[in-house]
Amino acid sequence: MIGRLLIVDDEEIALHNLQHVMERAGYEVSATQNGAQAISLLGAQTFDVVLTDLRMEGVDGMDVLKKSRALQPEAEVIFITGFATAESAVQALKHGAFYYIAKPFRLDEVRKVVAEALAKVLLRRENDALRREVEHYRDGEGIVTQDADMQRLLGMAQQIAPTDCSVLITGESGTGKELFAKFVHKQSLRRDGPYTAVNCGAFSEQLLTNELFGHEKGAFTGAIALKKGLIEVASGGTLFLDEVTEMPPSMQVKLLRVLQEKEVLRVGGTRAVKCDVRILAATNRDVTEAVKNGSFREDLYFRLNVVNLNIPPLSQRKGDIPLLAQHFLLKFSARMNKPVTRISPEVLDALMGYAYPGNVRELENMIERGTAMAQGDTIELTHLPEQLQQAGNFSLRKIDGAFPTLEVQEREYIRRVLEEVKGNQTAAAQILGINRASLWRKLKAQQAEEEAPD
């Protein structure tokens, strides 16, 4: 993107010099010798960087700075002054100037400072846009996604939530299965009832039976009082059975009975107790495989799998990565009370290039670490784990023995990104760091070139 620059200097020659240099550096420049005119320009058009002389007759650089902060808080202001004193520099920075350049200056110094200011403005704008998108794409239960498959799943979850049917949620570890279970509960008519989760893989068979079904007083040594099981406790609400394929066979039969009869028999009990519970179950294992090899009952599988929500791994919805990263950044910066609000472009590249065996949870952990490590307002590459820093490394390959031109490389890169996000141009533009209109123009140009006869 071209930077829009406003230059203000009451010395005509200095002004034209700067204008010429910055235009040659590719900026879109407005120049004025007059502070008052600078202020009316600030009211009329958008600038990224304002470069202003400090000492001017009438409206001076400090006035320009204050007006700029008020009218265009996104823009960065750089002072140039021939009367540099430590005190005026401190004043300038205190009022929010980006930098303070003393005359005489070297033109390459000015160019460098302006480029840094512009990079900061663009980064902020990009992150702000991302944050707005997070808000747009985060549903009431905190599920963030812009992926079409995920949106379809959410729609389905929403639709079946008010029914009492069982749902089997499948997907790799860390994809958000439990989040979906909570979503279904919250969207259901049982939302005011209890939501209880139990991990079927975390207990011995005996303990799990005791947890889920409870026991009568005196059912076994140590059963000194009646204990209601979680199924009973969850009555009127939702019971989430995590890692359900880990449930031992004897208990699978009992669970089937609960689902069929809507009643539960406590250990040592003779009379079944009515219970009104909705069962959601999850597993990261291949259930059909477990059914085939006999470790999971087929009849229970059918009972649980009335609706199946199969959550795709993060690597299949890369367009969600920048959004989720920003979402977690908001969460952790608030929790740690740190003013970290940005993720550097290099970090975003690295995040996009990583495979995420641990899915969303792994990304979440990385951002937590990055937020904790960050010293300024931005997460940089050095704040991330080693394996990720490598994922961002650019590899240089020759094609037919020659290095590809930038144009060829760009076309190939755009094609790969589009493929990755299944043709979603909004997501692709976000990944590429350009706006949708630029992406569209690039695609048009490529298309025209491909169609042109040699």
Ligand X SMILES: Nc1ncnc2c1ncn2[C@@H]1O[C@H](COP(=O)(O)OP(=O)(O)OP(=O)(O)O)[C@@H](O)[C@H]1O
Q: Which residues bind ligand X (CB under 6 A)?
A: 142-145, 171, 173-179, 284, 324, 327, 360-361, 364
| Identity of the residue, 9 or 364, whose beta carbon is nearer to ligand X in the bound complex | 364
- Closest approach, Cβ 324 to Mg ion, in A, equals 17
| Identity of the residue, 4 or 318, whose beta carbon is nearer to ligand X in the bound complex | 318
With CB atoms as reference, the residue minimizing the distance to Mg ion is: 178
Q: Are 171 and 284 in contact (CB under 8 A)?
A: yes
360 interacts with, out of ligand X, Mg ion, none, CB within 5 to 8 A per kind: ligand X
174 interacts with, out of Mg ion, ligand X, none, CB within 5 to 8 A per kind: ligand X
- DSSP structure string for 228-278: E-HHHHTTTSEEEEETGGGS-HHHHHHHHHHHHHSEE--BT-SS-EE---E
- Closest approach, Cβ 367 to Mg ion, in A, equals 19
DSSP 3-state assignment of 167? strand
| Identity of the residue, 143 or 267, whose beta carbon is nearer to ligand X in the bound complex | 143
Ranges within 318-377 binding Mg ion (CB under 5 A): none
Exposure pattern of 21-32 as b/e (b: 16+ CB <10 Å)? bbeebebebbbb
| Identity of the residue, 243 or 276, whose beta carbon is nearer to Mg ion in the bound complex | 243
| Region near Mg ion per CB under 5 A, out of 40-48, 86-94, 108-116, 178-186 | 178-186
| Cα dist from 62 to 36, 79, 99, 281, whole Å | 12, 9, 13, 63
How many CB atoms are closer than 10 A to CB 232? 21
| Identity of the residue, 162 or 357, whose beta carbon is nearer to ligand X in the bound complex | 357
- Closest approach, Cβ 361 to Mg ion, in A, equals 9
Q: Are 292 and 323 in contact (CB under 8 A)?
A: no
- Closest approach, Cβ 405 to ligand X, in A, equals 39
Rounded to the nearest 5°, which phi and psi values hold at 227? -130, 125
238 interacts with, out of Mg ion, ligand X, none, CB within 5 to 8 A per kind: none
| Identity of the residue, 3 or 171, whose beta carbon is nearer to ligand X in the bound complex | 171
Cα–Cα distance measured from residue 368 to residue 362, given in angstroms and rounded to the nearest whole number:
10
Q: Are 88 and 81 in contact (CB under 8 A)?
A: yes
- Closest approach, Cβ 287 to ligand X, in A, equals 13
| Identity of the residue, 230 or 330, whose beta carbon is nearer to ligand X in the bound complex | 330
| Region near Mg ion per CB under 5 A, out of 174-182, 228-236, 327-335, 344-352 | 174-182
Contacting Mg ion (CB under 5 A), which of 28, 178, 216, 377?
A: 178
- Lateral strand order in the sheet of 4-8: 28-32, 4-8, 49-53, 76-81, 99-102
| Identity of the residue, 39 or 279, whose beta carbon is nearer to Mg ion in the bound complex | 279
55 interacts with, out of ligand X, Mg ion, none, CB within 5 to 8 A per kind: none
| Identity of the residue, 28 or 178, whose beta carbon is nearer to Mg ion in the bound complex | 178
- Decide: is 243 part of the binding site for Mg ion (CB under 5 A): no
- Decide: is 141 part of the binding site for Mg ion (CB under 5 A): no
- Closest approach, Cβ 167 to ligand X, in A, equals 13
Tokens read off for 153: 């799943």
- Closest approach, Cβ 130 to ligand X, in A, equals 14
- Closest approach, Cβ 170 to ligand X, in A, equals 9
- Closest approach, Cβ 361 to ligand X, in A, equals 4
- Closest approach, Cβ 242 to Mg ion, in A, equals 5
DSSP-derived secondary structure letter, 339: -
| Region near Mg ion per CB under 5 A, out of 68-76, 171-179, 336-344, 381-389 | 171-179
111 interacts with, out of ligand X, Mg ion, none, CB within 5 to 8 A per kind: none
Q: Are 430 and 319 in contact (CB under 8 A)?
A: yes
Q: Are 21 and 45 in contact (CB under 8 A)?
A: no
- Closest approach, Cβ 417 to Mg ion, in A, equals 30
156 CB burial (10 A radius; 0-12, 13-18, 19+)? middle
Place of tokens 């702000």: 128
| Alpha helices (H) in 312-435, listed in sequence order | 320-336, 345-352, 359-373, 386-391, 406-420, 425-432
DSSP-derived secondary structure letter, 382: G
Helix axes 61-71, 86-94, angle to 10 degrees: 10
User: Which residues are registered as beta bridge partners of 311?
Assistant: 171
| Region near Mg ion per CB under 5 A, out of 67-75, 172-180, 210-218, 229-237 | 172-180
| Identity of the residue, 96 or 142, whose beta carbon is nearer to ligand X in the bound complex | 142
| Identity of the residue, 14 or 198, whose beta carbon is nearer to ligand X in the bound complex | 198
Contact residues for Mg ion (CB under 5 A)?
Answer: 178
